[in-house]
A and B are shown apart, each in its own frame.
Chain A
């Protein structure tokens, strides 16, 4: 993704502000009378946010100008499509501004609409997802990036924002360690930044860091990173900044991409999940168990409950898979077909059984799902344990 000077400048200022802010926040949280530093903290956060918004705005302007004929364009257009089903009105605009111009709903509704769109926008831009996955994989495996603290914090924060969204962890206490505190602060400061924006910023930051490292290596002997010592440049992980000491506690860097692994195994035939188009908002809401979004979407008009993703999975499949009983109940009430099958011939009940979701099995069976439906392998939900699970579910008698 090409970066333009303004955006980089904006990100630079943001990073600087984040750095200052982090410093100030430590200072502020030190016991003692120097309360004024808290204002510095707030100011820093505001500056960081301001600078970031500026950068994003500049980027948007650029995109606006550059629009036409490229992939982005196609994506934008798709973004403007209603997304089959989630909302049925003919053309739902993609940004809040446009909504304000054309949306007949009262203001409160608009922002809900925004939320819904935001909530589902994440799985959206598949190119971006692919770029992000590549960047994250690079960071996970590289050992030769030399990063400053702030760069590491920035990488960390954007990664978290991109993969989890808004920081929802409780603020660590100082005695939990300063590194953790700094990381939390960096993440938390990204506030409501959308996951897509975070992904984009992450991809650009990683690209920039790589460029810089390469430039450094070319020129060498510049004073700043003159150590040239592998001992200080070892952990390029970008995620774990390293707590103090350890047999270190490690976690998977990334969600496991089954598609990737299968693609590898089969000589790349299948390609990762990243190569598939964007996820439909309705399915996405059901995947997350976001019953509120579902209800709101339903308020806009009837939902297309037969809508399926690239593997033939319907909203009910996703809800059953996640064990989201409320969502599944709502879908069934709205008329979802409990026996709809995916490309492998599996019903929602197959999913619920495989995932050992007892209550879901019960709900589906009580709603008339067929325990003897054979999938492509000849497996039935019953054989996968659906009936047994349902009987064990807490509500069963």
Chain B
């Protein structure tokens, strides 16, 4: 019996090349991580893992000990701080991401974060401009790499941490595999450390040292005809389109009595509802009212939030649902469609209502807003409703990470209460 494990009798340089080629997808043996193995994160190789109690991995440092000047970049590049409120810079960031950010494996779709979306997620209360980090080409000024941090408060197994949420790591396609990513990560870490923050949370599709938990995407068709036309999904070979359309059809209007768009006056009630709900998860954000106002107020085209006001007790908010808009470019545009309009489940709290019923309303509301698909991770209590509401399992895993914070055991998706946009 042949055994795949015993192969690759290739000449050494060939083998080496192959080894590098497979970087990022190796699962058979623990892969080397030249950069991540130097960082205060859980390690995949047991021999590298510093044991200790749950908590910070690095010895405590003071801001004085943090390097004051930026790390050196290769001569033709320079750091810049990107002010996304500046129209020109916002356009540059939008374009960099639009052309170079995350794609599916078949290069059919690429995320297209909107300009408004970028302004929203990058400027929560207390945001630090310096943490919106770019790399430009000296001379031309072209923006070729980007990474961001925003401040957040997270509760990790009962401990409240002020940390940074890292997002939008993106390197121009022509500059890949040149070890620029580690430089961006080092530099943003330095800038964050300068504010006296020593922890970070981030997610990625790849397995790096070392996930604290893994969640899986599920997808609910809202406009299945379009989804089939653009190749996002396919019809089962024995199913007609007509049958499938009927199967996914939703009621025209949400059914929960008293459900309505969230308003500013709801902020205190929503904050209380959320914090009360989220405390049951091992890892979850803690919102103050300003943060709730920022993250969870209705913003057309960006984030959609709805509350249920008890019909019997006017003013009493019992439930909350929200989703954000993250379209993708259809790279090989077909059937006249150039954009996939995806809604992503954000934070949902079923107080009085049944969660499944509430999420069905969320689907209906998303359909009303002309979204094609509703995506949802299987974290928090979401696993409860995915099957009933006709979500199909996705091919993407999202890995959760904490920087400089040790956890002894990997969390299940149901322990995770954090959604990073």
Contacts and interface: CB of A to CB of B under 8 A. Distances in A.
A and B associate in one complex: yes
B170 to A, nearest CB: 9
A250 B30 contact: no
A125 to B, nearest CB: 12
A323 B235 CA distance: 14
Nearest to A8: B1
Contacts of B107: 169, 172, 176, 180
B4 A151 contact: yes
Interface in A150-166: 150-152, 154, 163
A16 B395 contact: no
A230 interface: yes
Most-contacted residue by chain B among A181, A230, A233, A243 (CB, 10 A): A243
B7 A233 contact: no
Contact of A15 (B2, B20, B31, B393): B2
B207 A231 contact: yes
A35 B32 CA distance: 30
19 contacts: A19-B7, A146-B27, A147-B28, A182-B22, A227-B45, A231-B207, A232-B30, A239-B105, A246-B203, A247-B111, A248-B396, A252-B219, A253-B394, A256-B221, A273-B236, A273-B238, A273-B239, A287-B237, A318-B240
B14 A23 contact: yes
A350 B107 CA distance: 36
Interface string A5-43: 100110111011001101110110010000001000000
A248 B25 contact: no
A22 B206 contact: no
Contact of A251 (B4, B29, B177, B395): B395
Contact of A149 (B22, B42, B410): B22
B208 to A, nearest CB: 9
Contact of B328 (A8, A249, A254, A261): A249
Contacts of B44: 227, 229, 231-232
A216 to B, nearest CB: 11
B142 to A, nearest CB: 17
A279 interface: yes
Contacts of B23: 178
A175 B203 CA distance: 23
Contacts of B110: 249
B22 A178 contact: yes
A354 B46 CA distance: 57
Interface in B69-119: 102-107, 109-111
B35 interface: no
B390 interface: yes
Contacts of B396: 237, 240, 246, 248-251
B102 A147 contact: no
B18 interface: yes
B384 interface: no
Contacts of A287: 237
B72 to A, nearest CB: 24
Contact of A231 (B7, B20, B210): B210
A252 B410 CA distance: 26
B209 interface: yes
Nearest to B228: A255
Nearest to B31: A232
Interface stretch (B152-160, B241-249, B282-290): B241-249
Contacts of A246: 102, 203-206, 396, 398
A123 B236 CA distance: 10
B191 to A, nearest CB: 20
A54 to B, nearest CB: 12
A23 B206 contact: no
Given A180-B107, A261-B390, A255 B207 contact: no
The 4 A-B pairs with the shortest beta carbon distances in the complex, nearest first, are A12-B2, A250-B396, A248-B205, A246-B205
Given A182-B25, A248-B217, A350 B14 contact: no
B4 A15 contact: yes
- Most B CB within 10 A of own CB, among A182, A233, A247, A322: A247
Given A27-B14, A149-B26, A255 B236 contact: yes
A112 B109 CA distance: 35
A351 B7 contact: no
B334 interface: no
A229 B46 contact: yes
A382 to B, nearest CB: 16
B242 A240 contact: no
Nearest to B326: A247
B387 interface: yes
Contacts of B398: 246-248, 250
Q: Which one of A175, A225, A229, A245 has the greatest number of beta carbons of chain B within 10 Å?
A: A245
A179 B102 CA distance: 13
Given A230-B410, A242-B206, 8 more contacts: A23-B10, A147-B28, A246-B205, A249-B205, A251-B109, A252-B393, A321-B240, A355-B225
